[in-house]
Amino acid sequence: MPQTAGTLDSQQKTTSRRPAGTLYRGNTGMWSWVLHRITGVAIFFFLLVHILDTALVRLSPEAYNAVISQYQTPIMGLGEVALVGAIVFHAFNGLRIILIDFWNAKYQRVLFYVVIGLWVVTMLGFAPRHLINVFSH
Amino acid sequence: MTSTIEAPRSPYTRSAKKRGLNWEKWGWIYMRVSGVVLIVLIFGHLFVNLMVGEGVSALNFAFVAGKLASPFWQTWDVLMLWLALIHGGNGMRTLVNDYATSRISRGILKVAILLSVVSLIVLGTLVVYTFDACPAGSPADLLPALCSNL
């Protein structure tokens, strides 16, 4: 296999004890990418379960209510905060990816901090209200 | 038999342009377009189900049936179902291509993803369009308010 000059350069960098950060390695670029994958997988598996539980409306009101009440326990309430946190990160970071692709990649780092900031604001709006609903019933 | 050795560091050359649809390109575009639409659909879904009123503790058959009785929410939920499952399935395909090391495991995992996506799209679409918000014989206190007007 012929190797490109670019491949050799990056291999040379990896022999360094502390590799310099690149767009995708060791820095905001890499961590946003890692988080995007982890949140994406988590949301996908929740989606599979969520379609199956919602499908119970077709079976009977009793069957649906029995299952949906499992979502209203304190432990699941905390899980829903994590789920919404994953969705909100994936959504905002997805917009960041679109901006990097179609606008300008040189703002990727500052955009990552914008994503974190918007995530914090959104979760401050969601989590207290949701947790009050979960724990006051 | 003679073989030619490529000059070292010669640039990567793409194989001659294949004819037909560039599926990877359209998949790439699909992820971005569906992603933007899904942000609107899912944020709306989360707001109406978790933020309005008593949120998650108010969810039950009456709430969901009341929503799914209206064509607006039927369309909303079916759009969300199709867009999210294909977006998620394509994302999982990317991960399998990246992390599954053998050809056989890649094949098995991608068939499994395809089967779960297709079967859940069929199941979800059928549920939305065939379900009855006021099933006969069910206790009235479990049903949405609209059933008492029938």
Residue B13 scores a pLDDT above 90 = no
Is A34's Cβ below 8 Å from some Cβ in B? no
- DSSP annotation of B50: I
Judged by average pLDDT, the poorest of A61-65, A95-99, B20-24, B69-73 is B20-24
B143 by DSSP, 3-state: which?
A: coil
A4 token code pair:
């490109």
Which has more pLDDT, A17 or A117?
A117
Residue A62: partners with Cβ closer than 8 Å, 6 or more residues away: B138, B142
pLDDT digits (tens, 9 = 90+) for A61-80: 999 999 999 889 999 999 99
Nearest to A38 by CA among A49, A46, A27: A46
Residue A4 scores a pLDDT above 50 = no
Nearest to A90 by CA among A17, A30, A41, A29: A41
Cα(A75)–Cα(B110) distance, rounded to whole angstroms? 33
* pLDDT number for residue A89: 97
Neighboring chain A residues of B64 at a CB cutoff of 8 Å: 54, 57, 64, 68
Q: What is the mean pLDDT of residues B70-80?
A: 96
Neighboring chain B residues of A47 at a CB cutoff of 8 Å: 84-85, 88
**Structural domains in chain A?**
24-135 (1.20.1300.10)
Angle between helices A74-102 and B23-46 (to 10 degrees): 140
Is B95's Cβ below 8 Å from some Cβ in A? yes
* pLDDT number for residue A106: 85
Contact B56, A80 (CB under 8 A): yes
B16 by DSSP, 3-state: which?
A: coil
CB contact under 8 A, B92 and A55: no
Residue B144 scores a pLDDT above 50 = yes
Cα(B98)–Cα(A43) distance, rounded to whole angstroms? 19
Nearest to B96 by CA among B83, B113, B84: B113
Find tokens 């609903």 and name the residue.
A133
Q: What is the pTM of this model?
A: 0.84
* Closest partner CB to A94 (pick from B35, B57, B120): B35
Neighboring chain A residues of B89 at a CB cutoff of 8 Å: 44
Contact A19, A9 (CB under 8 A): no
In whole angstroms, how large is the CA radius of gyration of chain A? Answer: 21
**CATH T-level fold of B29-149:** 3 helical TM bundles of succinate and fumarate reductases (1.20.1300)
Residue A30 scores a pLDDT above 50 = yes
pLDDT digits (tens, 9 = 90+) for A106-132: 888 899 999 999 999 999 999 999 999
Distance from the Cα of B6 to chain A's closest Cα (Å) equals 7
* pLDDT number for residue A40: 97
With CA atoms as reference, the chain A residue closest to B37 would be A91
CB contact under 8 A, B39 and A60: no
Q: What is the mean pLDDT of chain B?
A: 91
* Closest partner CB to B60 (pick from A68, A97, A101): A68
**All structural domains of chain B with their residue ranges:** 29-149
* Closest partner CB to A65 (pick from B56, B58, B60): B60
Q: Which secondary-structure segment (H or E) carries A133? A: helix A108-135
* pLDDT confidence band for A6 (50 / 70 / 90): very low
Judged by average pLDDT, the poorest of A86-100, B27-41, B123-137 is B123-137
* pLDDT number for residue B1: 61
Residue B32: partners with Cβ closer than 8 Å, 6 or more residues away: A94, A97, A98, A101
How large a percentage of chain B has pLDDT more than 70?
A: 94
Nearest to A131 by CA among A77, A87, A88: A77
